[in-house]
Homo-oligomer: A and B are copies of this chain.
Amino acid sequence: MKQELKGIFFDIDDTLYSTTIFAEKARRSAIQAMIELGLKGAPEALYQELIEVTQEFEPNYGFHFNKLLDRLPKEASSHCNPAILVAGAVISYHDRKFRELALFPDAPPFLEKLSQTNLIRGIITSGLAIKQSEKILRLGLLKYLSGQEAIIISDQVGINKPNPKLFQKALDRFGLAPSETAYVGDNPKKDILPCQQLGIRTIWMDRGGKHSILEPSIKPDYRVESFLEVEEILKKWGVNLP
């Protein structure tokens, strides 16, 4: 069977690992650390307030914990040094996040098989260059990819999802036609729609996360819940997986 597919690209967040689960654990750890350092309040109420902060400010805004303190009643932290509370929260958040940061269990065996094929394997992701690069390295993704050139980060190329130009960049870089390229992502509007517009094959990774809603105008070629299913699709597309 002739191989129709020549390249495959992946989103990172909530496609290769669960940012949702890790972020919640890390935020709850941060709240706990602040309480241990003297912050007054019920853990659940403080956590909900922090969630509001993250929704009202940009996810990459660097002062979520400071803003949390700003909006709590003065009595909650007036006996503390705010810098100590924030540092305690940041330490606890990061330590927890890095300790628990891991690919979805079905991802490594799939990526290992994929790296034994002749497919071009890359990442197309939105976010700050330093943060996305750190995830790629800490998640151990680099060894599965076709080199550092196959990493396309919106912040680095000046084009952001859902602009199809971001995905076109990957095709141009490797001389790929859209029809011989696939993209796997969790966000219908930001991942699936622009690829659909270009004619790139789309696999919607829907593990029931926050983007688990499909509008009628968005039509992924496949909807999957794990990389085991992606393997089956790749076989149909003529990829010779070991």
Interface hit among A53-61, A127-135, A163-171, A190-198: A127-135
- Whether B136 contacts A84 by the Cβ 8 Å rule is yes
Whether a CB of chain B sits under 8 angstroms from the CB of A233 is: no
Contacts of A133 in B (CB 8 A): 81, 83-84, 86-88
A63 — nearest CB in chain B belongs to which residue?
B130
A128 — nearest CB in chain B belongs to which residue?
B83
Interface size on A, residues (CB 8 A): 27
Name the prevailing secondary structure of the A interface residues.
Answer: helix
Copies of this chain, tallied across the complex: 2
How far apart are the CA atoms of A79 and B147 in the complex, in Å? 9
Contacts of A137 in B (CB 8 A): 84, 87-88, 91
Interface hit among A19-27, A149-157, A181-189: A149-157
Whether a CB of chain B sits under 8 angstroms from the CB of A148 is: yes
Q: CB < 8 Å: which of B37, B87, B90, B134 contacts A87?
A: B134
